[in-house]
Structure 1
């Protein structure tokens, strides 16, 4: 790579929450705003993904096909998900189940955002699933930010110096890892 060459990155971001006022979704929107011009963060919802049914894998619903196409077209993946009853959310696990048998996920560099320092069980479970699916977790791109109880929305996260810096640093680590892996 020459000095003047700037890599462009396409990153798919998934929130494990369907809640309108989700801290996880707000963190992804903040990250998209904080991203430099050469980084495109595409936030994709999971609310229209039907329950996983292996009988439908060969004739997947259009929402699943769209998710797979977005994942195939991206350079990396960003996941932010809350913890429900010591596990990842059903909506996120369901989406991942649809991706298990495809090749779109294999070796995809992944950044994780945890919006609650006390939510450790879901992160551990999520990491296990992602590794099993052959995703490439980027250790230095994993960030835990204290949003639970903060009342911060997207703009509040962007304006919060420490949190926005942590997000930018993790995003930079993801992009560096993608560059190294190319």
Structure 2
């Protein structure tokens, strides 16, 4: 289970949408008057909504429910962590053009694939058998997912009884994709190993 150490490279705090969007649009280092000018542009909020819709693969009404201003205070906490993973992986602003043109596809990684990469990659067949047959393996899977997704244990347990967690909502599969991208970006050695 030493591969779990790789999770330590993930951001420890979520990123607020406003800060994330400022990084996306390359305006985070502007002075307050310059920020005000950029953020009060008539098209800025529309573009912000487009970015959030694209990275989470959700509809515009969902993002609008998160708030009527640029803070999007109603965004779920787990989404703030996904934003931190996206930022750490440097996906945006690199993908900004494709996002605004509606051509971006958010990464999608199911629970089993994620858990195999984190918990089982690099183990011999014998070690894999020992690991998955251990009495605590399911608890380790649940703990790993709750740690990465920043959601409650009960939610994860309700997604299924095996490693596939088939009932996992799609938005969390996107978060797992961003988490793998962030891990890959921060750990070149792991990236080469997992390739």
Band the TM-score falls in, shorter-chain normalisation: under 0.3
Which of 1 and 2 has greater Rg? 2
Tell me the TM-score normalised to structure 1 length: 0.24
Q: Which has the higher contact order (CA 8 A, sep 6+)?
A: 2
Decide which structure has greater helix share: 2
